[in-house]
A = this chain, B = another copy of it.
Amino acid sequence: MLILLDQDGVLADFELGFHNAWQTKMGHKHPALSPAERRAFYVRDDYPKEFREEVEEIYTASGFFRDLPAISGAMEAVRHLLTLGHDVRICTSPLNQYRNCVPEKYEWVERHLGPDFVHRMIVTKDKTVVHGDVLVDDKPVITGTRHPNWKHVLFDQPYNRHVDGLRMTWETWRNALMVDESRSQGTDSKTS
């Protein structure tokens, strides 16, 4: 399978990174929403309108994307998918304010998955033009110019629970992706 994985909210913990940065820089003016309290896909829509500029300042700041923590279990699952023989790519949309975001997405992947994995990155605003069997993405609905040939598997987040459909976490990915582990098990049994 050609498996496309979104980066922020699936591999990189944008929510935790934002929460911590807001609490440090702005917590004295307005408390940070905990990741569990988030309801809108775009974090700016979950804070009062008068803080819009401050919200954007946080996620466009130098180092924000580079220093995001990895979502628990994600790196291990990605490596597991590769050992199962799947073709795994990162398919990510940059911010309109691309100057820090885009190169730091590359740095993040290099740091967490190694320099070879950087070659697996596809950076595009329109994910419907990318081939794949599956796209794992936390965005509730993914639109673009084409009818995509991938199946959208929703990566479970508090802000997408109003959407029906197949969903997964890095605890439940084996069932959601219907990954056949017999191949690697077969290999194991031959060597045991």
| A50 CA / B76 CA spacing, docked (Å) | 42
Contacting residue for A119 out of B103, B119, B125, CB 8 A = B125
A166 beta carbon closer than 8 Å to chain B: no
Q: Chain B's nearest CB lies how many Å from the CB of A84?
A: 16
Q: Copy number of this protein in the oligomer?
A: 2
Contacting residue for A124 out of B2, B102, B123, B145, CB 8 A = B123
Q: A2-B129, A129-B132, A131-B146 are in contact. Are A98 and B124 (CB under 8 A)?
A: no
A177 beta carbon closer than 8 Å to chain B: no
CB–CB B123/A123 < 8 A: yes
Please indicate the chain B residues that have their CB under 8 angstroms from the CB of A107 in the complex: 99
| A125 CA / B124 CA spacing, docked (Å) | 12
CB–CB B106/A98 < 8 A: yes
A122 beta carbon closer than 8 Å to chain B: yes
Interface residues of A (CB under 8 A from B): 2, 87, 89, 94, 96, 98-99, 102-103, 106-107, 115, 118-126, 129-132, 145-146
Q: 6 nearest interchain CB pairs?
A: A123-B123, A122-B124, A119-B125, A129-B131, A98-B106, A103-B103
